[in-house]
Amino acid sequence: MESQPASYQVPTEPRKMGYVASINRVIDYIDANLSESLDLQKLAQVAHFSPWHFHRIFLALTGETLADCVRRRRLEKAARSLLMVPAVTAKSVAFDAGFGSAEVFVRTFKAHFGVTPGRWRLGANSGWADQRRSHLRNLHQQDRRHDQLIRTAVVHDGSMRLNPSRSDERAASMDVALKTMSDVRVAYMRYTGTYGDPKITRMWQRFASLAARNGLIDGKHMILGVSRDDPDIALAGRCGYDACVEVDRSFKPAGEIGVQVVRGGLFGCTPFRGTAKDIYEAWLQLFSGWLPDSGFQPDDRLAIETYGTGIEVDPETGRFACELCLPIRPL
DNA sequence: CATACAACCCGCCAAA
DNA sequence: GTTTTGGCGGGTTGTA
């Protein structure tokens, strides 16, 4: 996993699941309350641990401290806002994301992304792409089994900047439907890492069998995948993905499985068929191919993959079908 | 799980 | 006017 100070003991399996649930709950809380003040006391309270104990657990399992996590989530939100809403001043973007002053915002932004917010907004963020690439390389040099993933991820990285013409062709043929979805209460299992990683497929298998055992895959409950991050902005290895299944009020979180509400609203939806490796590029098509000329702008809700009420994966090819739903609002 | 302490970071003022 | 940098005190954080 991540590099950790040697003195920390990673908790043993059964207990670890409970910790994972607390950590997920706290991360959900952070993301939902970025503009509030999020100090250690408050977050430990959310997790029902003493500040000291929770700080230690969080660091051991996520590889970063709570304060670092809060700061990073704020920076990532601000970075998105800077690109998404050009009319708003950098200062108010900073306050929206929960920074206490413009000065701190500029300083921490530059320390994290390597450029000032102003330059980032002007599109001078290619340095960040390089940085993410090299970070990805470092991650996987520690783990040789992922050699193939490096290649695919780097190719994806390059293709999104270098080849706009091809996406234009496809945009014309892309069929996108506008849909309004309501909020959905779901049970979820969370993955944190790199999009496109085969570990996500394995998590889906674990999650599906668990859900089936609990009678949740019954042709009535909706199955969703939720991408929690923009891979162009979040550091490789820190992108979140939740495998979700709809549940009613009576369902209680247990062990590794948490409960959250996936926010509904207006989405631009397009059907997808392919393997887990292909899905990132399909998202890219929707985002950079369809969205710019659609008359809509991205909304800051989470992007959703809907799988209907059952998942069918071709055992031969690994192909599956779902619908990609991009949160949008009118311009 | 608590205390205690140094380092770090935030928030503020000034200014380029 | 907005964004960015520099400098500084006091509070928070990280860890022994």
Nucleotide whose C1' lies closest to the alpha carbon of residue A68: C13
DSSP for A162-215, written as a single string: H-HHHHHHHHHH---EEEEE--EEEEEEEEEE-TT-HHHHHHHHHHHHHHHHTT
Average pLDDT, chain A: 83
Measure, in angstroms, how far nucleotide B7 C1' is from residue A239 CA.
30
A212, A299 in Cβ contact below 8 A?
no
Name the token pair of A35. 């503009």
pLDDT in tens, A216-249: 988 889 999 999 999 889 987 899 999 999 999 9
- Residue–nucleotide distance: A37 CA to B15 C1' (Å): 29
Question: pLDDT band for position A13 (50/70/90)?
Answer: low
Residue given tokens 């809700």 in the structure block:
A301
| Structure token digits, residue A145 | 């089994």
Return the bridge partners of A261, or none. A185
Please count the other Cβ atoms lying within 10 Å of the Cβ belonging to residue A206: 12
Q: Is the CB of A155 under 7 A from strand B?
A: no
pLDDT tens string A159-201: 333 333 444 444 456 889 999 999 999 999 999 998 888 899 8
Is the CB of A65 less than 7 A from some atom of nucleic acid strand B? no
